[in-house]
A = this chain, B = another copy of it.
C-alpha cells in the first residue's frame, strides 16, 4: 500500500498476512477499541503476525486504520426504480440491518468520533462508506423532483439529512437489539408525507 518495491526477487509479501492484519484491526474496533487504544501489538497478536510484518507495510497506526476502513465497501441494494418510496425504503433498510451488527456499529462510532481529530480517517470513511449511498439517494430524490413525485422546491440535501439522520438516531439510541423490520418504511412514509395534518 505505502511502498511498492517489487525490486527484483525475494519472497513476495503474503496476501494472507495483509488480510489477517486488516481483519484483526476491524475486529478490535468491533470490540469497542478506539483508534487511540489500538495497539500494534494487539493487532499483531490477534492476526497471528509479527509486529515487523505490520511496520513493513504501514508507517503508522493511522495509515493502517485508513486502509482498514477502505475495505468496508458495502454493496448498494438493487433499486427497482419504480417509485421514490420503494427505493428510499431499500436504501434505508441497509442502515437498519447494519444497526443490529456490532461490528458495523462500532466502526461507525469510531469514524464519527474521529471527525474532530483525524481528518484523514473520517474523510476516508465518509468517502468510502457514506458517499456512495448518498449518491444513490441523491439520484432517487432528484428523479422524484424531476418526475413530479416530489416537491419541485425540495432541498435534496436536507431531505437526505432527514432520512439518514432518523436512521442514525435509531441506530444509536433506539431499542437494544435489532431495529423493527418496518422501521425504514415508517421513516420514509413520515418524511414523505410530513407531520402536519391534512384533514
Contact = CB atoms under 8 A, between A and B. Distances in A.
A158 B187 contact: yes
Contact of A194 (B141, B158, B172, B192): B192
A166 B170 contact: no
A159 B112 contact: no
Interface in A158-199: 158-159, 161-162, 164-170, 172-173, 186-187, 190-199
SS class, residues of chain A in contact with chain B: helix
A81 interface: no
Contacts of A167: 165
Contact of A32 (B110, B116, B197): B116
Given A195-B191, A196-B150, A158 B186 contact: yes
B109 A110 contact: no
A32 B141 CA distance: 36
Contacts of A192: 194-196
Interface residues of A, number: 50
A162 B190 contact: yes
A113 B105 CA distance: 10
Given A150-B197, A196-B150, A191 B169 contact: no
A113 B32 CA distance: 9
Given A159-B190, A161-B166, 7 more contacts: A34-B34, A105-B116, A144-B195, A159-B195, A162-B191, A162-B195, A193-B194
Interface of A: 32, 34, 36-37, 102, 105-106, 109-110, 112-113, 115-117, 126, 130, 141, 144, 148-152, 154-155, 158-159, 161-162, 164-170, 172-173, 186-187, 190-199
